[in-house]
Amino acid sequence: MKATWNGQTLAESDKTIVIEGNHYFPPESIKREFFKPSATHTTCAWKGEASYYDVATGGETNKDAAWYYPAAKDAAKEITGYVAFWKGVKVTP
């Protein structure tokens, strides 16, 4: 799977984990130079607290376009640290 935005590949992996229709990419598969930590956090009842990244490339920033669970609850432990995308980031095979 490949995650792209603004003409740039943000992550690529054949080891994503799909939960609720979202592909979660292994942390080592993301291109860190395009990710900036965000102050945003949300809570999922069964996954835990999510942290977000702003994605920046080509002089543009897509606020909170990626999220991950730094300490996922037991029910979602397999995606701890894995990164998922939304807000116009395309995830394709």
The 10s digit of each residue's pLDDT in 60-80 is 999 999 999 999 999 999 999
Residue pLDDT, tens place only, 3-54? 999 999 999 999 999 999 999 999 999 999 999 999 999 999 999 999 999 9
Per-residue confidence (pLDDT) for residue 75, from 0 to 100 = 96
DSSP string, 16-82: -EEETTEEEBPGGGB-GGGEEEEEEEEEETTTEEEEEEEEEETTEEEEEEEEEBTT--GGGGGGBT-
Domain residue extents for the chain: 2-92
pTM, 2 dp: 0.96
**Tokens encoding 4:** 């792209």
- What's domain 2-92's superfamily in CATH? Domain of unknown function (DUF427) (2.170.150.40)
Per-residue confidence (pLDDT) for residue 46, from 0 to 100 = 97
